Structure 1
Amino acid sequence: MSIYQHFRPEEHDFIDQVIEWKEAVSHQYAPKLTDFLDPREQDIIKSIIGHDDDVKLDFSGGALDAECKRAFLYPEYYIPSLEDFQLKGYQLSYPEKFVQIEHRQVLGSLLGLGLKRNKFGDIYFHEKEVQLALSAEVSAFVELQFQAVGKVKVSLQEIPLSDLIAPKTQWDEVSTTASSLRLDVLVAAIYNISRQKAQLFIGAKKVKVNWKTVESTSFECAKGDILSLRGFGRSKIVTIDGKTKKDKWRIIAGKQK
């Protein structure tokens, strides 16, 4: 039985990479640290490493309940510590009494430095306080170069990882029906918009499934998928409960509070 049959075609390249990591740790008998992984990638790596006796697996994103985390694969003899994850925590200083900045602006400014998304972790907002986690290997560069968010001057102060606080994710469950499991149909049903509008959002790259932008309106969704629509928030498909008498899928979805 092929491992690939349990995953979507677009996930196969990542699966190949995980298998390479696993084999390298097993053959070289040395640990491997990954970049930041989104929760779907974490699930994939967990399912592939599984209960392997030779290769063990731990995750850390700095904060307790972090969403994006680095994975650390290691041989059974090795005892991992927090230092192995090579993480640094930061607080953003800016004139908060006079201006307001948003998550997407901080994210865009970090990417604008030429950073890849997998080199930094979650960005947390606690009212006007902004925190983030960085890979240690890019931290000196970011400290030096990250000087503005839009037109707002900013600076970074390193803080202990224990000071990073991830907000708890809460979901409101809603029940809906949909004529199919296509992405455009489900976005329309869950966010209570027209299918035409959903298609426009998808075409404009404003919709993500499992943290990846999806541009195909006919993309087939499944139980457990996390959807996000820019400006409308995040949702997840909790259950797909078969069909109604009118041949529509019964769906329980969670909408992030």
Structure 2
Amino acid sequence: MESIYQHFRPDEKEFIDQVLTWKQYVKDAYAPELTDFLDPRMQRIVNTVIGNHGAVSVRAFGGYRESERKRMLLFPDYFSPDEDDFHLALFEVHYPAKFVSFEHKHVLGSLMALGLKREKFGDILIGEGRIQFFVAAELSDFIQMEFRQIGKTPVTLTKMQLGEAIGQQQRWLEKQATVSSLRLDAILSAVYNISRQKTRALIEHGLVKVNWKTVEDPAFQCEEGDTFSARGYGRSRLIRVEGKTKKEKWRMVAGILK
């Protein structure tokens, strides 16, 4: 098992152990196991730990094709999953769009205020004066009863079919860069075209997240597939590390969410 941990960061050991527990349950019970909503980094860990050729298989689904947060289903060889097995519900929020506008953070904050964990909610979709969100189906009744407002604005909910989700095709603008190291401050400086000093200040003030977790160490070592968000600068991703130049600098390709 040590070889599995070596592929990931030390602070991910607890989640890897959880994945191994799920895997063992599926083997022992010969029955499927459904996770909560996982971010893309967690999904990558699950896929790596489970692999492609064992007695346990895994699928992911978040409600629509481009979903970012997904529930994952681990299952034995006899099982053939379909969308219903992921137990997802989609709600549309009705609010006075002519008078107020909401961002992702406002909707998420109001959902979290209900006392539920982030893992119980999937993507929040906002577009053309409409708001929708995915939730674990087992919480549908609770959500319909308790979700009454965003901030101080009263709202109502309608349960929708998954096929009625607002289209949310994400566009990533690729950017090539050369950096002196794969430190977090160096990566973000190159991606957002800001000074290392400014980048370090953002990180040390808790304004930067890596894979949806706040990181306050400028020397944090980044890897392919890492997703970043910096307050005021948006989201980006380290798509590829293409090796070193003759001057021992790293060539990389990053993506910036447009």
Q: What range describes the TM-score normalised by the shorter chain of this pair?
A: over 0.9
Which range is displaced more, 196-205 or 98-107?
196-205
- Give the conservation status (yes or no) of the 8 Å contact 2:177–2:190: yes
Alignment deviations for residues 7-51 of structure 1 (CA, whole Å, 9 cap, x no partner): 111111111110100001101111111100111111111111112
CA apart distance, 1:204: 2.8
In structure 2, stretches of 5+ residues that fail to align are: none
Which range is displaced more, 96-105 or 212-221?
212-221
SS of structure 2 residue aligned to 1:141: helix
CA apart distance, 1:149: 1.3
Cα separation, 2, equivalents of 1:166 and 1:61: 13
Q: Confirm whether residue 248 of structure 1 aligns to residue 252 of structure 2.
A: no
Paired residue for 2:186? 185
Paired residue for 1:225? 226
SS of structure 1 residue aligned to 2:112: helix
What amino acid is the match of 2:9?
A: R
Corresponding residue pairs, total: 257
Paired residue for 2:89? 88
Q: Confirm whether residue 110 of structure 1 aligns to residue 126 of structure 2.
A: no
Which segments of structure 1 move beyond 6 Å, counting only runs of 4 or more? none
Paired residue for 1:119? 120
Q: Confirm whether residue 17 of structure 1 aligns to residue 18 of structure 2.
A: yes
- Give the conservation status (yes or no) of the 8 Å contact 1:36–1:68: yes
In structure 1, stretches of 5+ residues that fail to align are: none
SS of structure 1 residue aligned to 2:142: helix
Paired residue for 1:30? 31
Q: Identify if the C-alpha distance between structure 1 residues 219 and 114 changes in structure 2 by more than 3 Å, giving closer, same or farther.
A: same
SS of structure 1 residue aligned to 2:219: coil
- Give the conservation status (yes or no) of the 8 Å contact 2:66–2:170: no
Alignment deviations for residues 47-71 of structure 1 (CA, whole Å, 9 cap, x no partner): 1111244212121111122111111
Paired residue for 1:158? 159
Paired residue for 1:8? 9
What amino acid is the match of 2:232?
A: G
CA apart distance, 1:81: 2.8
Paired residue for 1:56? 57
Cα separation, 1, equivalents of 2:247 and 2:53: 46
Q: Identify if the C-alpha distance between structure 1 residues 99 and 34 changes in structure 2 by more than 3 Å, giving closer, same or farther.
A: same
Give the root-mean-square deviation of aligned CA atoms: 1.6
Q: Identify if the C-alpha distance between structure 1 residues 166 and 20 changes in structure 2 by more than 3 Å, giving closer, same or farther.
A: farther
What amino acid is the match of 1:231?
A: G
SS of structure 2 residue aligned to 1:255: strand
CA apart distance, 1:245: 4.8
CA apart distance, 1:116: 0.7
